Amino acid sequence: MATHARPLAPAPETMDIPPPDILFGRSASMRQVRLKLERIGATNVPVLLTGESGTGKELLARMLHRQSNWAAGPFVKVNCPAIPGTLLESELFGFEKGAFTGAHASKPGRIEQADGGTLFLDEIGELELGLQAKLLQLLQDNCFMRLGGRQEVRAHTRMLCATNRRLQAEVDSGRFRRDLYYRINVVSLEVPPLRDRREDIELLAEYFIKEFSTRFQRPAPPLTPNLLSALQQYGWPGNVRELENMMKRYVVLGAAEELRQQLYLLPRDPQTVAATEPAPDGTLSLKKVTRYAVQELEREIILKTLEANQWNRKRTARALRISYRALLYKLKEAGLPARSSLGEGDAGKEES
Ligand X SMILES: Nc1ncnc2c1ncn2[C@@H]1O[C@H](COP(=O)(O)OP(=O)(O)OP(=O)(O)O)[C@@H](O)[C@H]1O
> Which residues of the chain form contacts with ligand X (CB under 6 A)?
15, 18, 22-23, 51, 53-59, 122, 162, 164, 204, 240-241, 244
Under rule CB under 5 A, residue 52 binds Mg ion = no
**Distance of closest approach, residue 126 Cβ to ligand X, in angstroms:** 12
| Residues 242, 240: Cα–Cα separation, whole Å | 5
Window of 54-62, 128-136, 175-183, 312-320 that interacts with Mg ion by CB under 5 A? 54-62
Say which entry of Mg ion, ligand X, none residue 23 contacts (CB below 5 to 8 A, set by partner kind): ligand X
Our CB check for Mg ion shows the closer of 66 and 178 to be 66
Q: Are 96 and 103 in contact (CB under 8 A)?
A: yes
Residue nearest to Mg ion (CB): 58
Q: Are 263 and 234 in contact (CB under 8 A)?
A: yes
| Residues 314, 320: Cα–Cα separation, whole Å | 10
Q: Could you tell me which of 143, 41, 120, 130 has the C-alpha nearest to residue 73?
A: 120
Q: Are 92 and 78 in contact (CB under 8 A)?
A: yes
**Distance of closest approach, residue 216 Cβ to ligand X, in angstroms:** 16
Sign of CA dihedral 152, 157, 158, 162: negative
| Residues 91, 73: Cα–Cα separation, whole Å | 19
**Distance of closest approach, residue 324 Cβ to ligand X, in angstroms:** 41
β-bridge pairing 152-154 and 143-145: antiparallel
Under rule CB under 5 A, residue 89 binds Mg ion = no
Give Cα 225 distance to the centre of its chain.
25
Q: Which of 58, 112, 126, 296 binds Mg ion (CB under 5 A)?
A: 58
Q: Could you tell me which of 229, 90, 261, 337 has the C-alpha nearest to residue 327?
A: 337
**Distance of closest approach, residue 12 Cβ to ligand X, in angstroms:** 11
Say which entry of Mg ion, ligand X, none residue 53 contacts (CB below 5 to 8 A, set by partner kind): ligand X
**Distance of closest approach, residue 55 Cβ to Mg ion, in angstroms:** 9
Say which entry of Mg ion, ligand X, none residue 159 contacts (CB below 5 to 8 A, set by partner kind): none
**Distance of closest approach, residue 237 Cβ to ligand X, in angstroms:** 12
Binding site for Mg ion (CB under 5 A): 58, 122
